[in-house]
Structure 1
Amino acid sequence: MNTSEPPVHRPPELWQPGTWRALPIVQQPEWPDPAAVTRVTGEIGRLPPLVRSGEIRRLQSDLAEVAAGRAFLLQAGDCAEQFSSCTEYGVRNKLQVILQLAILLTYGSGLPVVKVGRIAGQFGKPRSQATEIVAGVELPVYRGDIVNSPEATPEARRPDAERMLQAYHRASATLNTLRALTKEGFADLARVHAWNQEFVRASPAGRTYEDVAESITWALRFMAACGFDLAGSQALHGVDLFTSHEALLLPFEEALTRFDAGTGAWFDTSAHMVWVGDRTRQLDGAHLEYLSGIANPIGIKVGPSVSPEEIRKVCERLDPAGVPGRLVLISRLGANRVTELLPRIVQAVKSTGRTVVWACDPMHGNTFLSENGYKTRRLSDIAAEVAGFFQVHREEGTHPGGLHLELTGEDVTECLGGAHELSDDHLGTRYETACDPRLNAGQSIELAFTVSDLLRAHHK
């Protein structure tokens, strides 16, 4: 997208990939065999990087365009990837719904969309408690497939360092599949109809998507008839899909941190972009220490507990030089509080003079337990938080730059509402998430139309 050479974040003096070890750390498993952790991370450290520094820098350059209001960020994928979903079918289904959303956002807004998946590494999850009671037995909480297994037995829940090595290989296989699909025909714009799965096509959102797809197809025919060389346009036949995950399990991230002699910078080669969560954002903590030294774009989750002063200090810690495209601030405030809480956060960051990407995570702040005990979210609340996010940025004169979603290409029943009017009674039909509820493909497309309208109105 942006071909200019992006500036490189320089690590603080004396920073090394392991300096985080001297600081307090939260949200880590209690490994029963620390020697196994050392052995496994040592092995991972000798394996090839999962992504390359040049790809990471290209994403930062694209994000600088987002920060300037000339592009839009779509970051989407699973709440918590499971090893069992790392199949060609599973990866293809996630990719096609991301492609559908991206094309709708581009078609509706006229802006290029930077596509970042929560994929090929989102195997760990922070949790509210270290243990839980299941059938009267206290067990370690499930922390994602990179740590333990969701089955409610003592054996399955025991943290196992070998799973970090499995995570590396699953991420590598997922990346190989993504690269093949995005560069070898699956992402060709001529296949815009084929991305629409049968169960989505029959829905109101799917039928509206088909109308957009038909308009795109006719536009391509018109361009070809006018003599444009569509066959030679790489942008029509492939896409860049970058990867991201929460940098939660620092031994794993450290093992994949590599020095790039050409730029004189350290890169976390586990993903193109990593983020710090609301539970691991401590100014004096290990996670910010680690993230302060790597040159990847960094996401910062911004929840209701953050203060304007804290967010200023976090930005200064992670981006002392004010590099465009370095920081993505991902607000997750809830539909009822976004217009109350976000303005002071935006004003605080504006006061630092930084050009950041502002993204909206409308999922986490709108989670609740249904009457029948399922963790869920309402599509109407999700859409309302996005609308509030756009309203605040319009009033503050800043750019609403992105959307951060938990979704799946499967026909799950985990979030309420949408054209099919999923209710509490439907949740148990296909509730398949490993942790938090995700939008299904039809609900995701409905939301994309809403966001497209908001983007078009913002950029008039």
Structure 2
Amino acid sequence: MDNDWSPVSWHDKPVTQQPAYEESDKLESVLSELGKLPPLVTSGEVLALKQRLAQAQEGKAFLLQGGDCAERFDDCTSGHISNNLKVLLQMNLVLVHGLKLPVVRIGRIAGQYAKPRSADVETRQGVSLPSYRGDFVNGPEFTAEARRPDPQRMLRGHAHSAMTMNFVRSLLDGGFADAHHPEYWDLEWMSCSPMHNEYRRLVQAIGDSVRFVEALSGDRAGGARPEFYTSHEALVLQYEQSQTRQVPRQDGWFNLSTHFPWIGMRTAHVDGAHVEYCRGVRNPIAVKVGPGLESDHLKRLLAILNPDNEPGRLTLIHRMGERNIENDLPPLIAAVCQEGARVLWCCDAMHGNTETLGNGVKTRRFENIRTELERAFDVHAACGSRLGGVHLEMTGENVTECLGGARNLREEDLARHYRSQVDPRLNCEQALELAMLIVRKHTSAAP
């Protein structure tokens, strides 16, 4: 790491997408308190994830990253957390069985409380207020009080993240992810899904395989706690700075609020504060890349964020949209190949396919999501590259936010159970449908 980096060196760079706090003394008090709180993850877990991502870069594992668009404080409940974990475990089961590879499981969880916005101000019926930037910053209610950025929310976010991590770890320690008991992951509403029978047949086949292996070996399969990692966008840099620590017997600095921070497309400026902050932490990091990104810009990001070309360090999450991916992704793949850079390519087929309907509701069409994912596999194969993961906004709740899928949700269906305050998410059956698509495309794209 360069000697000119420190957890506060980002202050000298242009910064965007930050809350406009009104009371600096209150902010400093909150940041001082945050800096004294225990970390949410450990450096050992962070370095273990880096090794797993290095395996995925080599095609020896596959990355599954998913969860809520933006977590809500009100959703920090046992039901919501366990349902989101269930859908990740169900997808994991489909992928492990179909790909015959280990799956690196990363949740958009325990810290995904802040969101970038395209405009600082939202206007309704002639009234303009600050945009909702996630529960970490302000509230979604359209009132002046709710929309005022409040630094105390960072303390609430840390506490809710800690509770979430504690519950997830307790579930995993208690055998929740045991492949002998996939019935633990059943979602009640999925029993009526068109995907249910296919999924149950898969579960039965995996159970038979596990019992066969155990009969041959005389030992019980599994036993160790399955690995599960957290991620969030490193957006509010004052919070990220407060969670950046040095630890005994390890060199450098770690962001111990999450295992896997990422830089969003809106903040991936080579001379900007977010890139400056992330270049100095030892965590594996990701960068969102989208249409219009120049190859030279990407090459500069590679040099800044991973100057030693360290395996497992850098993931590139492309979010092109189904209309753009065939034209805009190949030059970026070529740029990475020209630099000889070690990266893990991951497809976010959600964000490039967001649209707003005539009634103002944001949605995504499952057909477009599926098409972008299919084309991602094809483009990488044609370019001599490898798609090693997916990044999805999804939930275990029975939401109706994305059109299409197995039940062919229509515009009139969205009002039934649309709960997201920011972007639309896949429900469980739509997510499982994508997992089965990944298996088919990954198998056909294999050399």
Category of TM-score, reference length = shorter chain: over 0.9
Measured in 2, the distance between the counterparts of 1:217 and 1:185 equals: 16
1:371 is displaced (CA, Å) by 3.4
In structure 1, the gaps of 5 or more residues are 1-10
- Report if the CA contact (8 A) 2:378-2:445 is conserved: no
Counterpart of 1:80 (choices 70, 87, 95) is 70
Partner of 1:290: 277
1:224 is displaced (CA, Å) by 2.5
Specify the SS of the correspondent of 1:300.
strand
Tell me whether 1:111 sits opposite 2:101 in the alignment: yes
Counterpart of 2:171 (choices 181, 197, 201) is 181
Deviations 1:257-309 (A, max 9, x none): 00134221100001000000010011111111100100001110001121111
1:365 is displaced (CA, Å) by 0.2
Measured in 2, the distance between the counterparts of 1:69 and 1:260 equals: 31
Tell me whether 1:40 sits opposite 2:27 in the alignment: no
Alignment of 1:339-354 (within 5 A): 339-354=326-341
Specify the SS of the correspondent of 1:279.
helix
Measured in 2, the distance between the counterparts of 1:272 and 1:358 equals: 18
Tell me whether 1:229 sits opposite 2:222 in the alignment: no
Measured in 1, the distance between the counterparts of 2:181 and 2:74 equals: 27
Partner of 2:417: 430
Partner of 1:5: none
- Report if the CA contact (8 A) 1:127-1:143 is conserved: yes
1:121 is displaced (CA, Å) by 0.2
Partner AA of 1:211 in structure 2: R
Counterpart of 1:168 (choices 158, 177, 200) is 158
Alignment of 1:157-306 (within 5 A): 157-230=147-220, 233-235=222-224, 238-306=225-293
In structure 2, the gaps of 5 or more residues are none
Specify the SS of the correspondent of 2:402.
coil
Measured in 1, the distance between the counterparts of 2:25 and 2:338 equals: 47
Specify the SS of the correspondent of 2:185.
coil
Measured in 2, the distance between the counterparts of 1:228 and 1:454 equals: 35
Runs of at least 4 residues off by over 3 Å: none
Alignment of 1:27-66 (within 5 A): 27-66=17-56
Measured in 1, the distance between the counterparts of 2:326 and 2:206 equals: 36
1:196 is displaced (CA, Å) by 2.4
The CA RMSD over aligned residues, in Å, is 1.1
1:201 is displaced (CA, Å) by 2.5
Count of residue pairs brought into register by the alignment? 447
Counterpart of 1:141 (choices 131, 134, 153) is 131
Measured in 2, the distance between the counterparts of 1:28 and 1:284 equals: 16
Partner of 2:373: 386
Measured in 2, the distance between the counterparts of 1:296 and 1:353 equals: 21
Measured in 1, the distance between the counterparts of 2:14 and 2:83 equals: 39
Measured in 1, the distance between the counterparts of 2:405 and 2:183 equals: 22
Partner AA of 1:260 in structure 2: V
Partner AA of 1:183 in structure 2: D
Partner AA of 1:99 in structure 2: L
Tell me whether 1:333 sits opposite 2:328 in the alignment: no
CA, structure 1 residues 188+263, in 2 after alignment: closer, same or farther (shift >3 Å)? same
Tell me whether 1:370 sits opposite 2:357 in the alignment: yes
Specify the SS of the correspondent of 1:359.
strand
Partner AA of 1:175 in structure 2: M
